[in-house]
Each structure stands twice: as structure tokens, then as C-alpha cells.
């Protein structure tokens, strides 16, 4: 995964120029990617409030350079803090609708149960909602899973590090466990801090002895959400934000 800076006209400015009627409630994106077989078109829409919040972009640039084909050249939607499916690449058409777009990828696809359900049968459509903002999550970038690491040196500690993000919310805390989740200590959050962006974190670890360790990371956000031990089940596994973990061996 990565973290990039996108730029281009805001969708708000574009919508103002086009003129949106009071009946406009959703904004639908269509792109050039075409699915194989008889799969229905991958077309989704976002609520007008999100589309016109000033942060949702029709991006033409990423990190200051024109978009590459892989990233959606020449223009793509960037619906920050939301699931990737809301950021349509290779845009060809933006349509203002009076209600959410129809089609498989709005319903019954790409939806979450409103309340957790037991594995087995999907929730009834009326008890689900369309995927929108991301939840709180984090990942461990180092050490690598399966790494053999040397004991603490004279220079200090091992650095456990990674990134955390929370969609439209802010990361306020990242905790690290080096004993498989029995105990937790706060990591140091990085200084770089921007809305929608990931927050880097690090933790100085001084393992007391050699052996196997399971390291976990657990983020908390400004909405009070905390990563769970196990993901909330849903048929397609969306928004899996279970605590990340790596196993390492500290050599004698």
C-alpha cells in the first residue's frame, strides 16, 4: 500500500460549473475499465454531500506528476477516506442522479450489514448499507513476518514501525503488543499529519530474551473506534481491520 498526494479540480467546483438541481442527490462515476463476460458495468455513486464537500477531487496529478495509466490517467475521482471503489479511475462520465445509482455494485454488492451478523447467510438488503468511509486500521511494515532479528545492540532498541489510517477520522493512538496481545504499549506517532493520510508510527522494542514473539499493532481513532482482534464477518470480507500481526524470532 502507499500514501499519495492527489491534485486536480474539486468535484464541487465542477458541479457548480455544470449546475446541479435541487433534486441531485448522488453523483455517479463511470470509467473506461470494462469487465469480462456478462458482468454488469462497475458503476457506483456517492452522496452529493461527499461529492461536494470540496475535498473530493477529479484528480489529474499524483505527487505533482500527471497520473500514470495505472493510477487512472488522464483523470480519476478521488473520494478521500472512502473505500477504493468510490475513486473511479479512467473517468469518462460524471452523472448527477436523484437517488443512489442502481446495479449490482451498489446493491446487493459492495454492502455491509448494519449490525454484525453470524457467518453463513448475507444480511437482508434492507439491513445493509453501501460501503462508504474506511474504518480504523494499521499495518506493521517492519520487522517482516518470519524475520530473525538479533538481540538488542548497544545502539538501543529494535524499531517496530508501520502506518495507521482511519478514513475521514484521525488516528489518535497506536498500541503495540510484543506478547501476542496480552499487554499493549503506546507507539510514537509520526510528525507528518494530514487529513485522510496515513500516520506513521514507531515503537522502540528491547526484547528481554531470545525466542519467538508475535507482534501486533492496534490503532484507535478520533471517533473512538479501536481495531478488533478479529474482523467483523461479512460475505465478501470488506473493511477487514483486524489487528495486524507479524511473527519474529529473536536470536540468542
Question: How far, in whole angstroms, is CA 25 from its chain's centroid?
Answer: 25
Measured CA to CA in angstroms, residue 203 lies from 64, 155, 181, 185 at distances of 32, 15, 15, 9
| Binders in 12-31 for other proteins, by CB under 8 A | 14, 18-21, 23-24
Which residue in 229, 3, 245 sits closest to 141, CA to CA?
245
Per-position DSSP letters for 176-235, written without gaps between them? EESSTTSS-EEPEEPS---TTS-EEEEEEE--SSSEEEEEEEEEEETTS-B--SSPPP-T
Q: Which stretch binds other proteins (CB under 8 A): 128-136, 154-162, 173-181, 206-214?
A: 154-162
| Residue among 197 and 224 whose Cβ is closer to other proteins | 197
Say how many residues touch other proteins, by CB under 8 A. Answer: 61
CA distance 2 to 243: 19
- Is residue 55 packed enough to be buried (19+ CB in 10 Å), middle (13-18) or exposed (0-12)? middle
Q: Is residue 65 a contact residue for other proteins (CB under 8 A)?
A: no
| Residue among 18 and 226 whose Cβ is closer to other proteins | 18
CA distance 76 to 72: 5
Q: Is residue 106 a contact residue for other proteins (CB under 8 A)?
A: no
**Residue burial 147-161, b: 16+ Cβ < 10 Å; e: rest:** eebeeeeeeeebebb
**Residue burial 86-106, b: 16+ Cβ < 10 Å; e: rest:** bbbbbbeebebeeebbeeebb
| Residue among 138 and 224 whose Cβ is closer to other proteins | 138
Contact flags string 164-193 toward other proteins, x per CB under 8 A: ------------------------x-xx--
Of 5, 7, 63, 93, the residue at the interface with other proteins (CB under 8 A) is 93
Q: Which stretch binds other proteins (CB under 8 A): 36-44, 130-138, 164-172, 217-225?
A: 36-44
| Residue among 20 and 149 whose Cβ is closer to other proteins | 20
Q: How many other CB atoms are there within 10 angstroms of residue 186's CB atom? A: 12
Reduce the DSSP state of residue 30 to 3 states and report it.
Answer: strand
Of 57, 94, 106, 166, the residue at the interface with other proteins (CB under 8 A) is 94
Q: Within 13 Å of residue 193, how many CA atoms lie on the same side as its CB?
A: 10
Q: Is residue 154 a contact residue for other proteins (CB under 8 A)?
A: no
Q: Is residue 212 a contact residue for other proteins (CB under 8 A)?
A: no
Q: Is residue 112 a contact residue for other proteins (CB under 8 A)?
A: no
Q: Which stretch binds other proteins (CB under 8 A): 124-132, 156-164, 174-182, 217-225?
A: 156-164
Q: Is residue 194 a contact residue for other proteins (CB under 8 A)?
A: no
**Residues at the contact surface with other proteins, assessed by CB under 8 A:** 14, 18-21, 23-24, 32-33, 36-40, 69-70, 73-75, 90-99, 118-122, 141-142, 144-146, 157, 159, 161-163, 188, 190-191, 200-202, 204, 230-231, 233, 235-237, 240, 242, 245-246
Amino acid at each position: 500500500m502507499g500514501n499519495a498526494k492527489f491534485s486536480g479540480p474539486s468535484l464541487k467546483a465542477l458541479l457548480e460549473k455544470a449546475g446541479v438541481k435541487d433534486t441531485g442527490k448522488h453523483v455517479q462515476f463511470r470509467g473506461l475499465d470494462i469487465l469480462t463476460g456478462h458482468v454488469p458495468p462497475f458503476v457506483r455513486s456517492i452522496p452529493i454531500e461527499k461529492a461536494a464537500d470540496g475535498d473530493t477531487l477529479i484528480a489529474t496529478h499524483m505527487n505533482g506528476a500527471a497520473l500514470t495509466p495505472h493510477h487512472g490517467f488522464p483523470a480519476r475521482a478521488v473520494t478521500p477516506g472512502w473505500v477504493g471503489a468510490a475513486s473511479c479511475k479512467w473517468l469518462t462520465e460524471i452523472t448527477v442522479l436523484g437517488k443512489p445509482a442502481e446495479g449490482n455494485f451498489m446493491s446487493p454488492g459492495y454492502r455491509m450489514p448494519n449490525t454484525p451478523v453470524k457467518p453463513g447467510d448475507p444480511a437482508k438488503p434492507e439491513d445493509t448499507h453501501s460501503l462508504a468511509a474506511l474504518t480504523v486500521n494499521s499495518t506493521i511494515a517492519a520487522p517482516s513476518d518470519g524475520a530473525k532479528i538479533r538481540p538488542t545492540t548497544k545502539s538501543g532498541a529494535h524499531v517496530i514501525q508501520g502506518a495507521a489510517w482511519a478514513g475521514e477520522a484521525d488516528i489518535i493512538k497506536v498500541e503495540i503488543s510484543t506478547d501476542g496481545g496480552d499487554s499493549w504499549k503506546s507507539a510514537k506517532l509520526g510528525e507528518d499529519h494530514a487529513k485522510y493520510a496515513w500516520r506513521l508510527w514507531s515503537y522502540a522494542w528491547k526484547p528481554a530474551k531470545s525466542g519467538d514473539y508475535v507482534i501486533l499493532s492496534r490503532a484507535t481513532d478520533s471517533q473512538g473506534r479501536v481495531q478488533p482482534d478479529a474482523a467483523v464477518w461479512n460475505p465478501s470480507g470488506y473493511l477487514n481491520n483486524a489487528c495486524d500481526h507479524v511473527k519474529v524470532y529473536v536470536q540468542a
